[in-house]
Structure 1
Amino acid sequence: MKLTRLVLGILVPPVGVFLTYGVSSALLINILLTLLGWVPGVIHAVWAITKHEEKVEGTV
């Protein structure tokens, strides 16, 4: 599932963030960054998805 979210985060950044966080401030930030340009949206999406995975793996 992580790979799927990362691929979607690269192709369609808000979808990858939505699948990771749901409707949240991270999603709104990513939508705004994606509207400003695809590259900032991708950078934020990949960062947010990997940080979320690190947090989840750290608590197990």
Structure 2
Amino acid sequence: MNLLRIILALFLPPVAVYLTMGVSQALIINILLTFLGILPGSIHALWVIVKHEEKAGEPMV
């Protein structure tokens, strides 16, 4: 599932954030950043995924 989220973060950042955090403030921020461009949205999505996995204590694949 982690690999899928990382791939989605590169191509569909809001979907990756939604799968990681659900409907949250991070999703709204990511949608706004994605409107500014795919690069800011992707960077934010990757950051959200990594921080969420780090907090959960799960190793990244």
Q: TM-score, normalised by structure 1?
A: 0.93
What aligned pairs does 1:1-60 form with structure 2 within 5 A after superposition?
A: 1-57=1-57
Q: Give, as a single letter, the amino acid of the residue that structure 1 aligns with 2:23.
A: V
Q: Give, as a single letter, the amino acid of the residue that structure 2 aligns with 1:14.
A: P
Q: Give, as a single letter, the amino acid of the residue that structure 1 aligns with 2:3.
A: L
Unaligned residue ranges in structure 1 (runs of 5+): none
Aligned-residue identity in percent: 60
Aligned length, in residue pairs: 58
Q: TM-score, normalised by structure 2?
A: 0.91
Q: Secondary structure at the match of 1:23?
A: coil
